[in-house]
Amino acid sequence: MTQKIVAGNWKMNLNYEEAKVLLKELINNKDKFNPEVQLVICPPMPYLSSFSEVLNGQSWIHLGSQNNFFVDKGAYTGEVSPSQLKSLGVTFGIVGHSERRDNFNEDYSVISKKVKALLDHDIRPIFCCGEQLQVRDSNVYKEFIMKQITDSLFKLKADEISKMVIAYEPIWAIGTGQTATAEQAQEIHTLIRSRIASQYDEKTANAVAIIYGGSCNGENANELFAQNDIDGGLIGGASLDLDSFLTIANAF
């Protein structure tokens, strides 16, 4: 384990009032969170600005985006640039989530540009990868996941990829209650780390944080986080509840 990172992906949940209540609850319970864990919350985009103001001086919670464009500024109606995110104090950014690959046809070339744009603005990308159930069942899942990673990330320089967070999120485990077993997750995490080591070097591979996502909750986080190559979690549903998020964050 190289780092300890627990990130909450709030997705398109909570209205503004509800989101502010959850943020307040997190802040009020600061003392209960293990200070060795890097906590990240990725609220819906419109809330980032006020969250950033509320969190000013609260560097124990990092602010993350759920999406970004790859151009700095210009006539791109509806898009948000990494430099705009940076100006709000955003330090992490989710890229390539399966929900964006599926619903918005994001392919590897768009995803790799988004990753690079975040890195250029000193925002740590949380790059998501993972296979559908039929890919898992067809037994070519390792090749499938590694292709997602090599296509989108392996053009980066060593000092760039070493800043990455890679989230292994098997699609069949997202929002289904069917978590990958600790062994299934560890198998993929080890594979990812060893491929980075052979493409780059051992030091670079150990600097990359590899976290797990997909029905991670207070009951299973402990076993998952105990695995050698699992550096934390990307949490969906369970990040919307203070007690669950706290239990997960303290599960190392």
* Residues near ligand 13P, by CB under 6 A: 9, 97, 169, 174-175, 213-216, 234-238
Q: Active-site residues: which are they?
A: 97, 169
Between residues 156 and 180, which has the closer beta carbon with respect to ligand 13P?
Answer: 180
Name which of 14 and 197 has its Cβ closer to ligand 13P: 14
Minimum distance from CB of 42 to ligand 13P (Å)?
8
Containing 150, the helix (H) or strand (E) segment is helix 141-153
The least CB distance from residue 41 to ligand 13P, in Å, is: 12
Q: In this chain, which residue has its C-beta nearest to ligand 13P?
A: 236
**Residue 93 or 237 having the CB closest to ligand 13P:** 237
Q: How far is the CB of 177 from ligand 13P (least distance, A)?
A: 8
DSSP letter string, 54-107: HTTT-TTEEEEES---SSSSSS-TT---HHHHHHTTEEEEEES-HHHHHHS---
In whole angstroms, the minimum distance from the beta carbon of 101 to ligand 13P comes to 12
In whole angstroms, how close is the CB of 4 to ligand 13P at the nearest point? Answer: 17
Question: Any idea what DSSP says for residue 32?
Answer: G
- CA dihedral for 66, 70, 75, 76, sign (positive or negative): negative
Of residues 162 and 215, the one with the C-beta less far from ligand 13P? 215
Would the CA dihedral through 105, 5, 143, 206 be positive or negative? positive
Q: At what angle do helices 182-199 and 141-153 cross, to 10 degrees?
A: 40
| 166 vs 216 by CB, closer to ligand 13P | 216
What is the identity of the amino acid at 111?
I
Q: For the residues of 162-191, what is the DSSP string, one character each?
A: TT-EEEE--GGGTTTS-PPPHHHHHHHHHH
